[in-house]
Amino acid sequence: MAQLFWCLLLALTIPVRTETDKHDGQVDQDTVSSDNRTATVLATLQSVEQKLTKLQTDFRQVVSENRVLQKQYLEKVKDLPWQLAVLQAQLPQQCRAIAKNFSEATGERLDRFEETFLAKETRLHDMELLGMEVKVIRSCKERTDRAVSGKQILRAHYDSALFVGFCVGNRFGGGWLLIQRRMNGSLDFNRNWTEYRDGFGYSDSNYWIGLERLHQLTSARSCELAVDLQDFSMVYRYARYNAFAIGSEDEQYRLKTLGAYSGSAGDGLRNHEHMKFSTADRDNDENMDLHCAQKWQGGWWFKACFTSFLNGPYRNNGTTLVPKIVWYAFNKDWRGFKYVKMYIRPLD
């Protein structure tokens, strides 16, 4: 391109001589005119050369950039088969995880719905029972058919308030009163002091009878305690104590009496004997470094902190540091539990 430009320039600048050279005046005039045209053409060609040079530079830059982009594209395309293989390998696992999470979330919603519906139905039934003229008894042992499980109007002693309890008739000869039950995760047991004192839940579902009522029952008459446990592998075991009593609120509902152990689940409560009850807003444990009820998310007779904890979060998890329902002596590990039940019975 540069050679072509200079050839044109040379041709335009060589003087042309004809017969008009004989006429000097006319030649001079034509020469001036020719010089002007040459200068104009030269300027035009210089402008064209500059534009051509810029176009060449721009073209080279575009080519260079395209080569870089092409290299990057080839690098990415080169990894596509490997990335696709990885994604294909991960896809079944991710689908299973999504399905599991969906199933768990749906199950929790159904549990909560069922619990809410059952709670309303249970409250109406309890109100109906309390409004009926029925015989009021002090313990489930006084029922006509103590081998049958079901609701019963009770009072701890003659000057205490009536309440609707659940009598357990199919365990160890019957006549037991339910004080705690965990059957699914629909009811939160991470409650404050007032709630643990007064009780929460419903006696035919997830339930805590209340520390004050438990104190009244175990102080009015000597009682024994039984505990049923079933893990998520459907293994069932039990523990029994031939004496059980807790103190008053002034004593922080201390576990003041725990008799001899018998059973198959192990002596999970022994480490908690004489301990005061703790909740998230009432720290009565012996651990100087942490608040056990806050850390483990539930109320209990914590020491520092526990070998059993039946009011923990409802979880199927064997990891040591995850809050859950625990009875370490069950299998010398920290597995969670699917079903738990605590119940008492007068000894006399």
Same-domain pairing of 125 and 192: no
Secondary element (H or E) of residue 32? helix 24-131
Structural domain includes residue 21: no
Considering only CA atoms, which of 224, 308, 306 is closest in space to residue 262? Answer: 224
Same-domain pairing of 187 and 305: yes
| Overall average pLDDT of the 95-105 stretch | 64
pLDDT value at 25 more than 60? no
Domain boundary, last residue among 133, 148, 177? 133
Query: What are the tens digits of pLDDT across the range 304-333?
Result: 999 999 999 999 998 888 999 999 999 999
Same-domain pairing of 129 and 152: no
Considering only CA atoms, which of 69, 219, 102, 249 is closest in space to residue 157? Answer: 219
Please, what's the largest Cα pairwise distance for the chain?
156
Considering only CA atoms, which of 113, 88, 346 is closest in space to residue 219? Answer: 346
Distance CA 340, CA 293 (A): 19
On average, the pLDDT of the chain sits at 83
Structural domain includes residue 16: no
CATH (domain of 209) = 3.90.215.10
Q: Is the pTM of this model over 0.85?
A: no
Same-domain pairing of 302 and 242: yes
Query: What are the tens digits of pLDDT across the range 131-158?
Result: 554 678 999 999 988 899 999 999 988 7
Structural domain includes residue 265: yes
pLDDT value at 15 more than 90? no
Query: What are the tens digits of pLDDT across the range 238-248?
Result: 999 999 999 99
Which one is predicted more confidently, 67 or 286? 286
Same-domain pairing of 204 and 122: no
For Cα atoms 294, 300, 306, give the angle at the middle one, nearest 5 degrees: 85
| Overall average pLDDT of the 228-253 stretch | 98
- Looking at residue 135, its pLDDT comes to 73
Strands (E), 210-254: 223-231, 236-246
pLDDT value at 110 more than 60? no
Considering only CA atoms, which of 289, 225, 295, 293 is closest in space to residue 255? Answer: 225
Domain count, the chain: 2
Same-domain pairing of 109 and 156: no
Same-domain pairing of 158 and 74: no
- From first CA to last CA, the distance across the chain in angstroms is 120
List phi, psi (to 5°) of 341: -145, 130
pLDDT value at 261 more than 80? yes
Same-domain pairing of 246 and 331: yes
Same-domain pairing of 87 and 142: no
Tell whether omega for the bond before 223 is within 30 degrees of 0, i.e. cis: no
Give the range of the structural domain holding residue 94, as residue numbers without chain letter. Answer: 1-11+26-133
- 3-state per-residue secondary structure call for 294-309: HHHCCCECCCCCCCEE
Same-domain pairing of 188 and 307: yes
Structural domain includes residue 2: yes
Same-domain pairing of 143 and 181: yes
- Looking at residue 20, its pLDDT comes to 45
Same-domain pairing of 176 and 108: no
